Amino acid sequence: MSSTRPLRVAIVGAGPAGIYAADILSKTDLDVSIDLFERLPAPFGLVRYGVAPDHPRIKGIVNALHKVLSKGDVRLLANVDYGVDLKLDDLRQFYDAVIFSTGAIRDAALPVPGIDLEGSYGAADFVSWYDGHPDVPRTWPLDAKEVAVLGAGNVALDVARILAKHADDLLPTEIPANVYDILKASLVTDVHVFARRGPAQVKFSPLELRELGHVPDVDIVVYPEDFDFDEGSMEAVEASNQTKQVVKTLTDWTLVEPSTQKASRRIHLHFLHAPSEITGDDGKVTGVRTERTALQGDGTVKGTGEFHDWPVQAVYRAVGYFGSPLAEIPFDELKGVISNREGRVVDMDGDHLPGVYATGWIKRGPVGLIGHTKSDASETVRHLVEDVTGVGDGGDVAAGDPAGGRTATHGDPQAVLDFLVDRGVEVVEWSEFELLDAHERSLGEPHGRERIKVVPRDEMIEIAKGRA
Ligand SMILES: Cc1cc2nc3c(=O)[nH]c(=O)nc-3n(C[C@H](O)[C@H](O)[C@H](O)COP(=O)(O)OP(=O)(O)OC[C@H]3O[C@@H](n4cnc5c(N)ncnc54)[C@H](O)[C@@H]3O)c2cc1C
Ligand SMILES: NC(=O)c1ccc[n+]([C@@H]2O[C@H](COP(=O)([O-])OP(=O)(O)OC[C@H]3O[C@@H](n4cnc5c(N)ncnc54)[C@H](OP(=O)(O)O)[C@@H]3O)[C@@H](O)[C@H]2O)c1
């Protein structure tokens, strides 16, 4: 093998991490040919299937990602599922290097009694449903009047807001028709969010928290007895402007006169309540039990042995996401990430699996904003380039290696397409996705909406292939 042909790189997962990695790699001095694989018929990962529909500014990041893929430097191969349609040994035939950027889609576990009762849900599943993910059921039971959301991160805020918001206020967004219909019929009146630590320890972003106070016909209710600040809290407020803003917003809400609150729906924010059990009757959720916690001085909490029962008919756990293992790739079961050192995938002995890399949430865990996946991708791509060129701290390929890291036996870009067609995989390429994109925009246009998403996978493919 000579280094006369471009370096062939596969990136698996077309969320922001994968797209930024492709963009950064295409701008290096390497002569490179990049294929971006995606399991779904549409790219953009959680920007399309996670970011809340009533956050159009963030959804707009899709436009920047769109630009990267329309430049033509990167070939999209969507509707291809790594682990099912192909595995690492297959990829090694066609590519000299592989970057995994498969993100996280599952909910982290919450090991409390009653978590499997009917009416107890994971936030990730609910998010996938309201954002029109093609692989989840079309229906969602919204027959609870009182609902608990466990956890105090931005996902908890998204879930609480979407549950409490009147469906008509979501109508201008890209929510699918089935989601609107079901939200419209929701019986919810009260959403209780439970944080196990204090107001200075929540992981809400200031902007997202303030937004909660502006949801039409929804009051925010806080409880002064939940407001405790230990030395660790004061240090956190001093150290972070964000924490300061969050604490101010929450504290301002304690001053609101209850008699002025007349909305038909409420979001209650509870602090220093750790979920200890989901209670039920006849297999169904009837309540949640929390244990009052106390701050210990350093921002951590301990249980006080004082329990509270809250009547609710549904519980959503929003205690974080968790990555899923991938076939033939070393996985850290504790952290839910691909085992890696700064993006170089490592085996059990800590040795780099030559040519294999990771980036985004599957590299460092399910925390951080879309922008963070860019710096992540820079680090991973830097190591890949070092390994291929032998320049820098990398060491898979010695400097001056005549093959320049070109290990694939089939360097022709057509070969992988032939392989997938032989396996009966209906690959959706960029120009085909553009048809689907245009179709969704045309559905939205008469209603003054940016787009209306097509949800069923088959329908997405039919439209992309120009058969519908
Ligand atoms: C509910 C929610 C709301 C959020 N809202 C915001 C927000 O408003 N602002 C913000 O900045 N950040 C937000 N974030 C964070 C942001 O979404 C993440 O930082 C970012 O999406 C992580 O990027 P990623 O590419 O690593 O993963 P993902 O976005 O999850 O992309 C991974 C991609 O890999 C694909 N994939 C997975 N497995 C396979 C496989 N086997 N084969 C092929 N493809 C595969 C997936 O289908 C997906 O397209 C939110 C996160 C969540 C969970
Ligand atoms: N609009 C936006 O910008 C937006 C929207 C959504 C998501 N995101 C980002 O996406 C990332 C993921 O968000 P996330 O909300 O899933 O995660 P997160 O920010 O890590 O929040 C998880 C929450 O769950 C709590 N928790 C964890 N285990 C628990 C348990 N056993 N019992 C009770 N509570 C528990 C945590 O409490 P402790 O702190 O006590 O551990 C924390 O409050 C974050 O970086 C977030 O900012 C951003």
Q: pLDDT by residue (tens digit) across 62-112?
A: 999 999 999 999 999 999 999 999 999 999 999 999 999 999 999 999 999
Tell me which amino acid residue 279 is: T
What's the predicted TM-score (pTM) here? 0.96
User: For residue 347, how far is its CA from the centre of ligand 2 (angstroms)?
Assistant: 29
Mean pLDDT for the stretch of residues 214-238: 96
The confidence score (pLDDT) of residue 405 equals: 81
Give every CB contact of residue 362 below 8 A, 6+ residues apart in sequence: 13, 17, 100, 101, 102, 103, 104, 323, 326, 337, 338
Give the sign of the dihedral formed by CA 389, CA 390, CA 396, CA 397.
positive
Distance 419 CA to ligand 2 centre (A): 41
- The whole-number pLDDT of residue 409 equals 92
Ligand 2 touching residue 321 (CB < 6 A) = yes
Task: Identify each DSSP E strand in 120-248 by its residue range.
Answer: 120-122, 146-150, 190-194, 218-222
Question: What's the CA-to-centroid distance between 434 and ligand 2, angstroms?
Answer: 34
DSSP per position, 312-326: -SEEEE-S-EE----
Closest by CA to 325, choosing from 131, 100, 138, 113, is: 100
The span from the CA of 97 to the CA of 8, in Å, is 7
Give, rounded to a whole angstrom, the gap between the first and last alpha carbons of the chain: 44
The domain made up of 106-319 is a member of CATH 3.50.50.60: yes
Whether ligand 2 lies within 6 angstroms of the CB of 198 is answered as: no
- What is the distance between the alpha carbons of residues 10 and 33, in angstroms, rounded to a whole number? 9
Q: In what helix (H) or strand (E) does residue 417 lie, and over which residues does it extend?
A: helix 413-422
Q: Residues 371, 341: contact at Cβ < 8 Å?
A: no
pLDDT band of residue 3 (cuts 50, 70, 90) is low
CA of 157 to the centre of ligand 2 (A): 9
Q: Is a pLDDT exceeding 60 seen at residue 205? A: yes
Type of residue numbered 114:
G
Q: How far, in Å, CA of 144 to CA of 463, rounded? A: 36
**What pLDDT score was predicted for residue 399?**
46
Secondary structure letter of residue 258 according to DSSP: G
Q: How confident is the model at residue 390, as a pLDDT? A: 85
Asked whether 32 and 7 are in contact (CB, 8 A), the reply is yes
CA distance 193 to 152: 7
What is the atom index within ligand 2 of the atom nearest the CA of 320? 16
- Residue 255's nearest CA partner among 223, 208, 215 is 223
* Confidence tier at 393 by pLDDT (50, 70, 90): low
Task: Give ligand 1 pocket residues (Cβ under 6 A).
Answer: 12-18, 37-40, 45-47, 50-51, 55, 58, 81-83, 101-103, 127, 155, 158, 321, 360-361, 368-370, 373
* DSSP three-state, residue 267: strand
208 Cβ below 6 A of ligand 2: yes
Alpha-carbon distance of 268 to 121, in angstroms, equals 19
The residue with greater pLDDT, 338 or 261, is 338
The closest alpha carbon to 119, from 168, 178, 49, 188, belongs to: 188
What is the mean pLDDT of the segment spanning 150-166? 98
Alpha-carbon distance of 244 to 226, in angstroms, equals 17
Among 125, 109, 173, 133, which residue's Cα sits nearest to residue 45?
133
Confidence of residue 270 (pLDDT cuts 50, 70, 90): very high
Check for a shared fold between 7-105+323-428 and 106-319.
no
Share of the chain above pLDDT 70, in %: 97
- Predicted confidence at residue 56, as pLDDT, reads 87
Across 135-152, average pLDDT? 96
Tell me which residue has its CA closest to atom 1 in ligand 1: 50
pLDDT of residue 59: 86
Ligand 1 pocket test, candidate residues 370, 428, 457, most atoms within 8 A of CB: 370
- Distances in whole angstroms, Cα of residue 75 to Cα of each of 64, 152, 271, 354, 410: 17, 39, 48, 23, 17
* Ligand number with the minimum distance to the CA of 44: 1
Write out pLDDT tens, residues 394-451. 555 544 455 678 999 998 999 999 999 999 999 999 999 999 999 999 999 999 998 9
One-letter amino acid of 208: E
Rounded to the nearest angstrom, the distance between the alpha carbon of 183 and the centre of ligand 1 is 24
Dump pLDDT digits (tens) for 314-333: 999 999 999 999 999 999 99
Which residues are CB-neighbours of 64 under 8 A, at least 6 positions away? Answer: none
Which residues have a Cβ under 8 Å from the Cβ of 351 and sit 6 or more positions away? none
Ligand nearest to the CA of 65: 1
CA 443 / ligand 2 centre spacing (Å)? 34
For residue 45, give the H/E element and its range.
helix 45-49
Helix 241-254 vs helix 231-239: crossing angle, to nearest 10: 120
3-state secondary structure at position 257: coil
Does residue 247 surpass a pLDDT of 90? yes
In the reported structure, the alpha carbon of residue 405 is separated from the centroid of ligand 1 by a whole-number distance in angstroms of 30
What ranges do the domains of the chain cover?
Answer: 7-105+323-428, 106-319
- φ/ψ of 19, rounded to 5, equals -70, -40
Question: What's the rounded Cα separation, in Å, for the pair 261 and 241?
Answer: 29
The CATH number given to 7-105+323-428 is: 3.40.50.720
Atom of ligand 1 nearest to the CA of 104: 30
Return the best residue to mutate from 48, 128, 130, 203 for the ligand 2 pocket (most ligand atoms within 8 A of CB).
Answer: 203
